[in-house]
Chain A
Amino acid sequence: MKTTILDLKVGQNALIRQFADFDATCKLLTMGLLPNARVELVRKAPFGGALYIKMQNHLIAMRENEAASVEIELL
Chain B
Amino acid sequence: MKPMRVALIGNPNAGKSSIFNLLTGLRQKTANFPGVTVEKKTGTFSVSGQEIKITDLPGTYSLFPNSKDEKLVCSVLCNPHNDTYPDLVVYVTDVNQLERHLLLATQIIDLGIPTIVVLNMMDVFAENGHRLDSHALHQFLGVPVIGMNARNGDGLVNLKQEIGNFVSGDVQRFLRTQQIYPFSELETQAAIQTAGLLKEEINNYRHKLIAHHHEWMDFIEAKSRSLLHENMAQLGFENIRLQIQETMRRFAFIQEALKGVMETNDSREQKFSVSLDGLLTHRVAGPLIFFGLMFVIFQSIFWLAEYPMSWIESAFSYLGSQTRQWLPASWVTDLLVDGLLAGLSGVLVFAPQIVILFFFLALLEESGYMSRVVYMFDHVMQKFGLNGRSMVSLISSGACAIPAIMSTRTIGSWKERLITIMVAPLIPCSARIPVYTVLIALMVPAHLQHGPFNVQGLVFMALYIMGIVASLLVALLLKWMIKSDERSYLMLELPSYKKPIWSNVALEVWDKLLAFVTNAGKVIVFISLGLWFLASYGPGQNIEKAAAQEESKSTYNNISEDQKAVNIQSAKLEASYAGILGKWMEPAIEPLGFDWKIGIALITSFAAREVFVGTMATIYSIGGDAEESSVRDRMAAELRQGTNQPMYGTATSMSLLVFYAFALQCMSTLAVTKKETNSWKWPAIQFVLMTGLAYLGSWLTFLFLS
Contact = CB atoms under 8 A, between A and B. Distances in A.
A46 B286 contact: yes
B270 A59 contact: yes
Contact of A46 (B251, B283, B489): B283
B131 interface: no
B133 interface: no
Task: Identify which of B284, B388, B495 gathers the most chain A CB atoms within 10 Å of its CB.
Answer: B388
Contacts of B277: 42-43, 52
Interface residues of B, number: 49
Contacts of B64: 26, 30
Interface string B103-128: 10000000000000000000000000
Given A32-B99, A57-B97, A58-B97, A50 B378 contact: yes
Interface of B: 61-62, 64, 66, 96-97, 99-100, 103, 240-241, 243-244, 247-248, 251, 264, 266-267, 270, 273-274, 277-278, 281-284, 286-287, 371, 374-380, 382, 388, 487, 489-496
Contacts of B377: 47
Given A26-B64, A43-B281, A54-B274, A34 B490 contact: no
A31 B67 CA distance: 14
A20 interface: no
B243 A26 contact: yes
A66 B491 CA distance: 8
A28 B492 CA distance: 10
Contact of B489 (A47, A58, A66): A66
Interface string A38-68: 0000110111111010100111111100100
B375 A52 contact: yes
Contact of A48 (B103, B379, B496): B379
Given A26-B62, A66-B491, A61 B274 contact: no
B284 A46 contact: yes
B489 A32 contact: no
A45 B491 contact: no
Interface string A1-36: 000000000000000000000111111111110110
Given A26-B247, A29-B247, A46 B282 contact: yes
A59 B274 contact: yes
B149 to A, nearest CB: 18
Task: Identify which of A24, A48, A58 gathers the most chain B CB atoms within 10 Å of its CB.
Answer: A58
Contacts of B278: 43
Nearest to B377: A47
Contacts of A50: 375-376, 378-379, 388, 490
Contacts of B378: 45, 49-50, 61, 63
